[in-house]
Each structure stands twice: as structure tokens, then as C-alpha cells.
């Protein structure tokens, strides 16, 4: 699973990255977490509001700092095989 946190580097974006990374460790997911700071790069991915979280190219959260519980629910659902 590839997880991208998209945002220009503000405190909200860093908080989102910390929360996402913590939940990945907590759930024991095999996931790569990357933070894209470049506006042009994340706009190409469809991001319009930051911070945003993308899982395997799909925006799953956008516009505010998610809670641990919100990230846990999203990643637990995304980590399940189809």
C-alpha cells in the first residue's frame, strides 16, 4: 500500500503525516508513507484541499487534520483484500 500525505509543509500537514504514520505502525500495515510538498505535484494527483491523504492514488481524506480514529477506519478498510 502506498500512502501519500499532500500539503505544502504547514503544521496541519506535518500533524497529518504523524497521525498516518502512527496508525500504519499501530495496525502493522505493509505501507510506504510519503509526504509530497510540491503544489504542482499534488495538484496533478487531484488534490485541491490540504492536508490530503491518498491511498494507492485515491484521495481518502482532505481539507483538515484527521483524527487517529478516522485514519484507523480508512486504513483498516483500505488494507483489506478485495
Instruction: Determine which one of 3, 6, 13, 60 is catalytic.
Output: 13
Instruction: Determine which one of 1, 2, 8, 10 is catalytic.
Output: 10
On the question of a cis peptide bond just before residue 51, with omega within 30 degrees of 0, the verdict is yes
Query: What dihedral do alpha carbons 50, 57, 30, 72 form, nearest 10°?
Result: 50
Is 13 annotated as catalytic? yes
Question: Catalytic site residues?
Answer: 10, 13
Amino acid at each position: 500500500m502506498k500512502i501519500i500525505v499532500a500539503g505544502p509543509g504547514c503544521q496541519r500537514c506535518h500533524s497529518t503525516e504523524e497521525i498516518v504514520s502512527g496508525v500504519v505502525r499501530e495496525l502493522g500495515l505493509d505501507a510506504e508513507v510519503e509526504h509530497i510538498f510540491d503544489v504542482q505535484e499534488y495538484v496533478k494527483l487531484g488534490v485541491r484541499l490540504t492536508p490530503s491523504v491518498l491511498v494507492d492514488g485515491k484521495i481518502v481524506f482532505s481539507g483538515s487534520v484527521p483524527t487517529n480514529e478516522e485514519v484507523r477506519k480508512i486504513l483498516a478498510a483500505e488494507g483489506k483484500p478485495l
